[in-house]
Structure 1
Amino acid sequence: MSTTRISSSGLKVLRVLKALKGHSLSGLSNSDLAKALNESPATINRCCNTLIAEGLAIQLETGRYALSVAALQIAQAHSTEMARASHRIDELTQRVAAGFQ
């Protein structure tokens, strides 16, 4: 039986990324993130620096962390893709329904 190996540091970075959701305008402080994720401020700092280096987070002038425009673009691209898929499904449903009338 094989065991799936994962990166514990990668998980921490992803948890910070998820915690920033909904805080794009005002951001979250290092201490807010540390408390919310039960991690040390040093760990949060490394995670945020990793996200910043990859372009997925920014540090606001206030020192707080927020999702970057690039991260928001990922969310927008997903939303756009889902809207197109929904529109296509609606079109197919209408065509199928029209064939039975």
Structure 2
Amino acid sequence: MTTPRTSDSGARILRVLKALKGYSLTGISNGELAKGLGESPANINRAINTLIAEGLAVKLDNGRFAPSIALLQIAQAHANEMGAAQHRINEINQRVLAGASR
């Protein structure tokens, strides 16, 4: 099986996106991202600018970077979908248990 070709810059952008997790309120600096990811600040700057251009990150008033509302909406939509699925599973389980007692 051959390994699929990937984009180094695309992978970097996705690593930066993942590194924004947990920084919705306070943000994280370019330097902190660079150090944490083992990348140069210039590479982080290009990646974060791409995320901002695509609406997935924002620069806060304090100069730090955070996930955008659009990204948080994606996460919330997933959480809602999983909650609805769990609700449906619970309903089915209740019916199964009710039928087992008859």
Task: State the TM-score bracket (shorter-chain normalisation).
Answer: over 0.9
Aligned partner of 1:50 in structure 2 is: 50
Structure 1 residues without counterparts, runs of 5 or longer: none
% of aligned pairs identical?
64
Offset at residue 100 of structure 1 (A):
1.2
Which structure 1 residue ranges, 4+ long, deviate > 6 Å from structure 2?
Answer: none
Aligned partner of 2:77 in structure 1 is: 77
Relative to the length of structure 2, the TM-score reads: 0.95
> Alpha-carbon deviations, 1:30-89, whole Å to 9, x = none?
000000000000000000000001000001111111000001001100110010000000
Structure 2 residue matching 1:66: 3-state secondary structure: strand
Relative to the length of structure 1, the TM-score reads: 0.96
Give, as a single letter, the amino acid of the residue that structure 2 aligns with 1:11. Answer: A
Aligned partner of 1:10 in structure 2 is: 10
Indicate yes or no: 2:77 matched with 1:68. Answer: no
Structure 1 residue matching 2:36: 3-state secondary structure: helix
Give the RMSD, CA atoms, in angstroms.
0.8
Offset at residue 3 of structure 1 (A):
3.0
Structure 2 residues without counterparts, runs of 5 or longer: none
Structure 2 residue matching 1:76: 3-state secondary structure: helix
Aligned partner of 2:22 in structure 1 is: 22
Aligned partner of 1:98 in structure 2 is: 98
